Each structure stands twice: as structure tokens, then as C-alpha cells.
Amino acid sequence: MTGQKTKKSTSENVDVVIAGLGPTGLVLAHILGKRGHQVLVLEREPVFYGNARAVYTDDECMRIFQSIDMAEELQKDMLLDTPVQLVRPDGTVIAQYKPLKRPFGWSVVNFYYQPYLETSLTNALAKYPNVKILRGRELINFSQDADSVTVIHQATQIYRFSDESDVKTEAQGDSDIQQVTARYLVGSDGGRSTVRAKLGIEMSGKNFPEPWLVVDLKQKDRNKGLRHLPYFNFVVDPDLPVVSCVQPDGFHRFEFMLKKGQTKEYMEQPETVRMLLSKFVNPDDFEVKRKLVYTFNALVANQWRDKRVLLAGDAAHMTPQFMGQGASSGIRDAGNLGWKLSAVLNGQAGDKLLDSYESERRDHAKAMIQGSVLLKDLVSMTNPVVGKIRDGVIKGVLATPKLKEWGQEGGFKPKPVYTKGQYFGLPRQYRSSPEGSLSPQPKVRGFDGKQILLDSLLGDGYALIGLGVDPSQALSQTSKQLLKQLGCQFITLYPYAERPQNHTSASLNPDVLEVEDIEGNMVNWLRKTGHNQPVALLRPDRFTFAVANQAEINAVIQQLQQQLEFSHQTTQYKEVIV
Ligand SMILES: Cc1cc2nc3c(=O)[nH]c(=O)nc-3n(C[C@H](O)[C@H](O)[C@H](O)COP(=O)(O)OP(=O)(O)OC[C@H]3O[C@@H](n4cnc5c(N)ncnc54)[C@H](O)[C@@H]3O)c2cc1C
């Protein structure tokens, strides 16, 4: 560091400081920005890191993008429903993952180009004057007391990334140290998180020694070079395990597993890259955007919250890339944490609600890590005998139609269901009862005859959905008032084409929307609960707080109030010191 002078400007006050503008920080900034909170985002890199890392996301994350009004725009740059397959070097297919069901309203397989995704999300933040982004500023320290966190940041001293390589550059200017005070700090500052380090939080898990060479390509001519590779392939060659990864807009990635004795220097040489690429494509058809040897980690931070400071995304957990769930887990963290922080900041919940962030997300993120490690083991076998056994087992599984469908539809993927007893919601009434799980999202037909995904009618708050009944009918005045203060939307859901036709205009409740479930996903989900007149209370992130008979609904609302520690008569909340 040269020419360093330190100065402290007067302190700025915001609701939340977010350290790190990767996928996690971006989604969190949107959620808080949309809800009107004052947010300051610190991003170490002075310019956007224009290289791809993440390429895949799923329907659950698309639903989170929908909640921030970004799904349709992001989807324009994605490849949907691309089959993912295990193939032999000669191209014969061993197994395919090609889910076509849409339980949450969106396609399950979505391939994207990370710079497009991050640029769109960043540009769209401009609509929130309450979200301020400071690029080229790194969090260097913080301290907290009972009411706030004071964050110290400075002009970045070492830039980690550039478009061409991961070579680091040293800054030449003044470090210009400043401070900001916030109610909460979220460290979404990646795997080498400064926030996590400053808290002294360790990570548990495994670092894997097997390195892979990642080569990112761009087609020179859109019609040349890739037409023979239409799908995402795990090429299970015992001599050279390879991943061939489709991306939109002429981008493509190959990943090659290093053999014993092969060095990073050797693998990253242009001649080696050319030789490896030649096995699959004509290298002359492509520009090599990046070639880098990566190792990967399967790690989870031992603690995700320290009072007013929370960790999210790679700062909290690191996932091997094989299932495409690293960034997706971070997006889920943001989806879980965003509405909770907002509720606490608005006085609609006690601070204890934030404890449910880790207790809900940890096991799910861990399950994704375990799944990714398993998939890595499955696709990177170098012992031909073990590989043959794997192929035989898969063949056996696929011979059973039910198991084949289970595999193709992704039955192996961890479900969005929180661990029993560790979530914000009522206890599960039986093993598969819906409390603590993500509700389905049907396409519905509104009273105007238009078709729309249900969440788009629900707003940003809670939703009370009655199957064939007005869910507000049995509510006491107290329950009604509480739900009104929480911004709850009331919905009566009918099976398709079964709306009653004997109502008069005057008999309809203006506070309730009536919709028809076109394919019946949510109707079936509610019927399966066995309740006579089921009413579902959905949280703002569309996880299920409870499903009950209409007659029990006031007790449910009372539970909601207790778990939120929300006293709506006074609109004060009881602070719980943790
Ligand atoms: C080869 C590869 C392929 C992958 N494929 C997939 C995939 O297909 N799908 C998927 O979901 N995931 C995938 N991943 C994982 C995914 O890229 C990461 O999980 C994801 O980027 C993590 O997002 P994040 O926002 O938590 O952290 P990051 O993306 O790491 O962002 C953290 C940000 O914080 C900034 N920062 C760091 N320190 C500070 C500081 N002190 N102050 C301010 N700012 C700071 C950094 O500059 C950075 O911009 C892949 C990863 C690799 C390496």
C-alpha cells in the first residue's frame, strides 16, 4: 500500500450493510430495497468481475427471482429444460435428468451466464434510491453493541479479480477509511469472507484435493462448433472425467479432471488446453475466455449469526459445483433472510426471528453439499471396474419405471423442507404434512380470466389461502387486525372451472381474491392435508406456516403472533436478547 492516509468521515446511518455484491448480496439487496429499507452495499472489486462461475439454477431460485420482479427478465438470458446426462466417451447415454414438472411454477433446469445474471440484477437495483452501492470499497472491520453495528470500510487495496485472469493488482491511492452505522450487517463476502474471519468463526467439512481445469469458451461464429453438443454432459471417462456445460449466447464451459502428477502450470498452458478441447470441439471455433485450475470445498461455517451480524452465501457454506447449487444456496439464504430482516426492522417481529435463518437454512445447505459430493464421486470415477459397477446399478434403477421417473424428475435432490422443530411455523402434524415446506405455486386463472402465477397476486407479505372458502370468514377481529398489519393477502382457491356462479356482486368480499388452480397442484396439496375446509397460512417467502381447518384458524394466527413476538395493539415488539 502506498500513499496511505487514513481519515474517518462522519458516520452514515443505514438499516443494513451488505458486504459483497455476488449473487447472494444482489438478491438480498433487492429484497430489502423492494421493502423500502436503507441499504448500503460494499463491494471490494472496483469493476464487475466479468467471468462466469455459476451456470445453473433451479425452480426454487427462479421463484425467489420472481419475488424481486426479476424472473422474467433473467429468464430471457437462460436456457430452459436442457437435459443433463451421464454419457460415455462414445456418446452413449447412461442416464438423463430432464424434469418437466413445474411444482413451483418455473422450469427446474435453467442454464445461465453469470455475468448476464449479475449485470441484470445490478442494473435493476437502480430503481431503489434507498439502496446505495459502493464499488471498490472493502469492509475491513466492524464492532457491534446492543443497538447497532459500526462498519469500517476503505478503498480496496488489492483487487482480486480482472476479466482476463485472477491476477491481483495493488492499489496506489489513499485508503480513505470511512465508517457507517447499521442495525444489521450481512457478510455475503464469499468463501474468503472477512466478516466471518473477524467474527473468528471456523468452517467444518472437507477440502478436496482433486483439482479440475475449468475452460470457458465463446463461439466465434454462432453456427459453428457446438451443434453436436446440445445437452449438459458428465462424460464418465475413467481416463479423463469431463464436464461439458451448455450456456446461453455461444458460451460454453469444459471442466477436465487432473490426473495424478498433472500440475496447474501444465494444465493452464495454451497447448494443453488446445489438446483437451480437441477431443470435443475444434478449438479454432472458439475464443478461450478463461482457463483456471480449481479445487473445491465442502464446508459449512460453524455459526451463521453473531448478534447483529449474519453470514450468507459462500461466506456461510461452500458447495462443490457439480450440482450447480453454490450460488443457488446463497440465493436461498437471501430469500430466507431478507423478509425476516425486513420484519424485524419494521417492528413486525422480534429479533429472535433471525435465529430461524440459520436453523432453517443450515441443514438444507448441508444436504446440497452432500449431494454435490456424491455426484462428484459418481462422475469422476477413474477405476474402470468401479465405473462398470456404477453403470450397472444405474441400469438396474432405470429398468423400474417408477425409479426411472424419480431419477429423471430429480427425486434425489434435497427438498425445500425444513428440519422438524427447527423452523418458523407450526409443528408438522404428520411426517409429510406441509408445515415448514415450500408451498407449490400453481398457475391460476383470475376473476378477469387472465392466467398468472399465484405468487404474483400475493404481494410481499403473508397469504391466507382457503380451498373453496373465504379464508377470512372465520377470523376474529383480533386475527384480522394482526393479519392486516402484516400485509396479508386473502385468497379463495377453486379447482379449475369450479368457481361458484350463484354469487352476486354484493356477496363477494372485496378483500379476498378468487382464483382457479388450472392444473390442480395446490388444490391437491391442500386436499392431501385431510382437513375439511383447509386454510393455508404462507409466510412471505411462501414456505408454509400452517394448514388448518377453517375452524382452527384463529388459534393459528395466535401462534403466529406468539412466534413473531409481535404485539399488534401497540405495534411494538418485544426485543429478545440472544
Ligand atoms: C467453476 C465453478 C462453477 C460453479 N458453478 C455453479 C453453478 O452452476 N451453480 C451454482 O449455483 N453455483 C456454482 N458455483 C458456485 C458459485 O459461483 C458460488 O457459490 C457463488 O458465486 C457464491 O455467491 P456469493 O454471492 O455468496 O459469493 P461471491 O460470488 O464469492 O461474491 C462475494 C463478493 O464479495 C466481495 N467481497 C469479498 N470480500 C469483501 C469485503 N471485505 N468487502 C466487500 N466486498 C467483499 C467479492 O469481491 C465478491 O464480489 C460455481 C463455482 C465455480 C468456481
Rounded mean pLDDT, 87-96: 93
Pick the CATH number of 12-77+112-203+302-376 from 3.40.47.10, 3.90.79.10, 2.60.40.420, 3.50.50.60: 3.50.50.60
Rounded mean pLDDT, 44-63: 89
Cα 306 to middle of ligand 1, angstroms: 22
Q: How far apart are CA 565 and CA 574, in angstroms?
A: 6
Q: Is the pLDDT assigned to residue 78 strictly greater than 90? A: yes
* Atom in ligand 1 nearest the alpha carbon of residue 214: 1
Percent of all residues in the chain with a pLDDT value above 90, rounded to a whole number: 78
pLDDT of residue 99: 92
Q: Is 416 in the pocket of ligand 1 (CB under 6 A)?
A: no
CA atoms within 13 A on the CB side of 183: 16
pLDDT for 492-548, tens place per residue?
999 999 998 887 777 788 899 999 999 999 999 999 999 989 999 999 999 999 999
Q: How far apart are CA 256 and CA 211, in angstroms?
A: 9
Task: Pick the residue whose CA is nearest to atom 6 on ligand 1.
Answer: 54
pLDDT of residue 576: 34
Q: How far apart are CA 277 and CA 255, in angstroms?
A: 10
* Atom in ligand 1 nearest the alpha carbon of residue 26: 25
Q: Is the pLDDT assigned to residue 201 strictly greater than 90? A: yes
Q: What is the DSSP letter of 568?
A: T
Q: Is the pLDDT assigned to residue 453 strictly greater than 90? A: yes
Burial call 396-435: b when 16+ CB within 10 Å, e when fewer: eebeeeeeeeebbbbeebbebbbeeeebbbbebeeeebbb
pLDDT of residue 504: 78
Sign of CA dihedral 94, 100, 106, 112: positive
Q: Is 55 in the pocket of ligand 1 (CB under 6 A)?
A: yes
Query: What cell does 61 get?
Result: 431460485
Rounded mean pLDDT, 291-306: 94
Task: Pick the residue whose CA is nearest to atom 37 on ligand 1.
Answer: 189
Cα 186 to middle of ligand 1, angstroms: 15
Q: Is 321 in the pocket of ligand 1 (CB under 6 A)?
A: yes
Q: Is the pLDDT assigned to residue 20 strictly greater than 70? A: yes
Q: Is the pLDDT assigned to residue 572 strictly greater than 70? A: no
443-573 CATH: 3.40.30.10
Q: Is 255 in the pocket of ligand 1 (CB under 6 A)?
A: no
Please give the helix or strand (H or E) that residue 152 lies within, else none: strand 149-155
Burial call 119-146: b when 16+ CB within 10 Å, e when fewer: ebbbebbeebeebbbbebbbbbebebee
Task: Pick the residue whose CA is nearest to atom 3 on ligand 1.
Answer: 53
pLDDT of residue 410: 83
pLDDT of residue 407: 82
Q: Is the pLDDT assigned to residue 409 strictly greater than 70? A: yes
Higher pLDDT, 300 or 406: 300
For residue 160, what pLDDT band results from cuts at 50, 70 and 90? low
Cα 523 to middle of ligand 1, angstroms: 38
Structural domain 78-110+209-295+383-416, CATH architecture = 2-Layer Sandwich (3.30)
Please tell me the chain's helix, strand, coil percentages from 3-state DSSP, rounded to the nearest 5.
30, 25, 40
Around Cβ 79, how many Cβ atoms within 10 Å?
20
Q: Among 361, 328, 240, 367, which Cα is nearest to 53's?
A: 328
Q: Which of 44, 61, 112 to mutate to test ligand 1, by most ligand atoms within 8 A of the CB atom?
A: 44
Q: Is 320 in the pocket of ligand 1 (CB under 6 A)?
A: no
Q: Which of 51, 55, 189, 251 to mutate to test ligand 1, by most ligand atoms within 8 A of the CB atom?
A: 189
pLDDT of residue 7: 52
Contact by Cβ (8 Å): 28, 312:
yes
For residue 8, what pLDDT band results from cuts at 50, 70 and 90? low
Q: Is 23 in the pocket of ligand 1 (CB under 6 A)?
A: yes
Q: Among 217, 205, 423, 411, which Cα is nearest to 314's?
A: 205
Q: Is 42 in the pocket of ligand 1 (CB under 6 A)?
A: yes
Q: Among 303, 412, 350, 400, which Cα is nearest to 577's?
A: 350
* Atom in ligand 1 nearest the alpha carbon of residue 189: 34
Cα 261 to middle of ligand 1, angstroms: 29
pLDDT of residue 166: 61
- Cα dist. 158→137, 154, 170, 292 in Å? 11, 11, 5, 20
Q: Is 330 in the pocket of ligand 1 (CB under 6 A)?
A: yes
Q: Do domains 12-77+112-203+302-376 and 443-573 have the same CATH topology?
A: no
Q: Is the pLDDT assigned to residue 375 strictly greater than 80? A: yes
pLDDT for 518-534, tens place per residue?
999 999 999 999 998 99
Q: Is the pLDDT assigned to residue 9 strictly greater than 60? A: no
Higher pLDDT, 405 or 117: 117
Contact by Cβ (8 Å): 424, 563:
yes
For residue 174, what pLDDT band results from cuts at 50, 70 and 90? confident
Task: Pick the residue whose CA is nearest to atom 5 on ligand 1.
Answer: 54
pLDDT of residue 505: 76
Domain locations along the chain = 12-77+112-203+302-376, 78-110+209-295+383-416, 443-573
Cα 23 to middle of ligand 1, angstroms: 7
Q: Is 440 in the pocket of ligand 1 (CB under 6 A)?
A: no
565: left (phi over 0), alpha (psi -120 to 50) or beta: left
Higher pLDDT, 267 or 2: 267
pLDDT of residue 575: 35
pLDDT of residue 503: 78
Q: Which of 78, 232, 314, 364 to mutate to test ligand 1, by most ligand atoms within 8 A of the CB atom?
A: 314
Q: Is 350 in the pocket of ligand 1 (CB under 6 A)?
A: no
What integer best gives the mean pLDDT of the chain? 92
Rounded mean pLDDT, 175-188: 96
Q: Among 375, 91, 113, 102, which Cα is nearest to 230's?
A: 91
- Cα dist. 156→42, 44, 83, 532 in Å? 10, 6, 42, 60
Q: How far apart are CA 381 and CA 235, in angstroms?
A: 11
Q: Is the pLDDT assigned to residue 310 strictly greater than 50? A: yes
pLDDT of residue 3: 39
Q: How far apart are CA 516 and CA 518, in angstroms?
A: 6
Q: Is 45 in the pocket of ligand 1 (CB under 6 A)?
A: yes
Q: What is the DSSP letter of 326?
A: H
* Atom in ligand 1 nearest the alpha carbon of residue 191: 30
Cα 401 to middle of ligand 1, angstroms: 39
Q: Does the pTM exceed 0.85? A: yes
Rounded mean pLDDT, 556-573: 76
pLDDT for 331-362, tens place per residue?
999 999 999 999 999 999 999 999 999 999 99
Cα 22 to middle of ligand 1, angstroms: 6
Cα-based torsion angle of the residue sequence 54, 60, 66, 70 in order, rounded to the nearest 10 degrees? 0
